[in-house]
Structure 1
Amino acid sequence: MAISRPVDPAVIARCPSISTRLLVTLAALLLIAGCGPQPYDPGLLRSPGFGTAEGERRSWTFSHHASTDSYELTIDQGVAAIRRVGPEPWAFLAQMLPEGSIEQLAGRRLVFAVELRGQLDTTEWGKPFEPTGLLAKMWHRPGDGARGAHALLGSERVHSERLPLPGDASLPDWKRHTLEFDTPETLSRLQIAIVMSTGGTLEMRNPSLHIVEPD
């Protein structure tokens, strides 16, 4: 029959090196668990590593206002970085959601999130025409109450939701930023993006898009 007894403090006192090593080991394990990268679920997004993982299909597009020499994009080990090097007002890294997923996203609340780090400034290129930050762009067909050209031509309307960052934001450490938004019942297309429109460099990693389920 197994018998368990409490540890005699005198035994621990006679073996300080063992108890000290044990405490140091436990503290190190707790530190690693608390400070290491946290797992996350990319949800509806494809290529969450921006196409860097082996066998991962790249689903992101890098778009510019006009010329392609004002912003530089680099991708390394799942981290994308956009650096401004010229006068064009904006560039963005975006993903268009597949047509097959639009029906389940119509009339829902979604949350787009990404970890950001970087240093922005307005000293060289001035204040941005539109804010740097997260963007959700939605196309939807006009409903019964549509007016004007949209109703006449049956064309799609577009509206956007944003999470803006200050043009001179300092983000020395990784921090997760979240944009929560509602989609219209008549949603026909959906694009999410990270916009860069000021001086400096903006890094991003671990993007995700999820449906917010009602309570």
Structure 2
Amino acid sequence: MREVSGMYQWVRLQRTIFQLVGALLLGACVVACERGEQDAESDAPVASAPPQPYVAPDAGLIKNPSFSKVGEKIASWSTLQHAGEASFAFAAEGGVLTISRTGAQPWGMVRQRLSRDDTKPLQGKTLEFSAELSASLTGEFGAALDPTGLRVMVKGVKRGAPAMLGTAILATSEQAIAGTEGEIPWQRYALRFKVPADTEASHVFVELGIMLASGGSLSVRGPVLQEVATSDTANEIQ
């Protein structure tokens, strides 16, 4: 009987050991599986947030900031180029105007002119002309003769000048885009300028331009013209 009882206890001990080993193996398997799932989740690509739609700022004094067309022409803007054969294409879609160079003439641009009546209440004030620009520029047509970017020109009759001479350029400047070749991402550029007071000049008008002077293309969106405080004269032209 003692041998049978001892054998029985030995069998129970073996069974207990097997149960403990099985439980440990099962626990290890569960932990490994959970870690595998976590690793798989961490390796899964994270979905990026969709790009936010562009919201143009208040255009201020700019007319037709979205470059809408009337027939085949862009309302309130004129398109022009250096004299000669047609060398630039102008396309407007979704609030973005794109100038593309197609020929040998050195520059093409879009321009908005503030008439004398538009400019008269602005005389003596400081204005800022800005726009967001992006570009894909190439050296296909050689080195640029002018900078690609924003341009401002103020014209009028300077006080004391002979009337027979007519209007003259009173101030001009440009703000070049940040790069001369390659892909240039969207960035806002700005020019500040003072409109001569009526004691300084008469018959004053302002021309705002966006010029492409390289190979490739230039895109524009969100043009703004606004009055700024005269105490802040950064980038101001005289």
SS at structure 2 position matched to 1:115: strand
- Which deviations, in whole Å up to 9, do the C-alpha atoms of 1:77-122 show, x marking residues without a partner? 1111011111001111011113322112212211001111111122
2 CA distance for matches of 1:85 and 1:184? Answer: 38
Give every structure 1 segment of 4 or more consecutive aligned residues whose post-TM-superposition deviation is greater than 3 Å.
169-172
Q: Which residue is 1:156 aligned to?
A: 167
Q: CA RMSD in A?
A: 2.7
1 CA distance for matches of 2:220 and 2:123? Answer: 27
1:72 has 2:89 as partner: yes
2 CA distance for matches of 1:44 and 1:79? Answer: 18
1 CA distance for matches of 2:56 and 2:89? Answer: 29
1:212 has 2:219 as partner: no
Over the matched positions of the two proteins, sequence identity in percent amounts to 27
Q: How far does residue 60 in structure 1 lie from its aligned partner after superposition? A: 0.4
Q: How far does residue 129 in structure 1 lie from its aligned partner after superposition? A: 1.8
Q: Which residue is 2:147 aligned to?
A: 131
Normalised TM-score (structure 2) = 0.66
2 CA distance for matches of 1:152 and 1:77? Answer: 45
Answer with 104-113 or 167-176: which moved more: 167-176
Q: Which residue is 1:112 aligned to?
A: 129
Matches within 5 A, 1:45-124: 45-52=62-69, 58-67=75-84, 69-122=86-139, 124=140
Matches within 5 A, 1:146-185: 146=161, 151=162, 153-158=164-169, 159-165=171-177, 168-185=180-197
1 CA distance for matches of 2:178 and 2:53? Answer: 28
Partner amino acid, structure 2, of 1:195: M
Q: Which residue is 2:4 aligned to?
A: none
Query: Radius of gyration: which is bigger?
Result: 2
2 CA distance for matches of 1:129 and 1:114? Answer: 22
- Which deviations, in whole Å up to 9, do the C-alpha atoms of 1:111-147 show, x marking residues without a partner? 001111111122x211122211101111121222x4x
Q: Which residue is 1:22 aligned to?
A: none
Conserved in 2, the CA contact under 8 Å of 1:52 and 1:78?
A: no
Q: How far does residue 63 in structure 1 lie from its aligned partner after superposition? A: 0.6
Kindly tell me: are residues 89 and 135 of structure 1, through their superposed partners in 2, closer, same or farther at Cα, counting changes over 3 Å? same
2 CA distance for matches of 1:128 and 1:166? Answer: 14
Unpaired stretches in structure 2, ≥5 consecutive residues: 1-47, 232-238
Unpaired stretches in structure 1, ≥5 consecutive residues: 1-27
Conserved in 1, the CA contact under 8 Å of 2:89 and 2:102?
A: yes
Q: How far does residue 67 in structure 1 lie from its aligned partner after superposition? A: 3.1
Kindly tell me: are residues 166 and 173 of structure 1, through their superposed partners in 2, closer, same or farther at Cα, counting changes over 3 Å? closer
SS at structure 2 position matched to 1:73: strand
Q: How far does residue 179 in structure 1 lie from its aligned partner after superposition? A: 1.1
- Which deviations, in whole Å up to 9, do the C-alpha atoms of 1:37-95 show, x marking residues without a partner? 34411000110011259xxx810000111135211111111111011111001111011
Matches within 5 A, 1:20-31: none
1 CA distance for matches of 2:64 and 2:123? Answer: 22
- Which deviations, in whole Å up to 9, do the C-alpha atoms of 1:173-197 show, x marking residues without a partner? 2211111122222251111010111
- Which deviations, in whole Å up to 9, do the C-alpha atoms of 1:155-181 show, x marking residues without a partner? 211131211236624454221111112
Conserved in 1, the CA contact under 8 Å of 2:133 and 2:177?
A: no
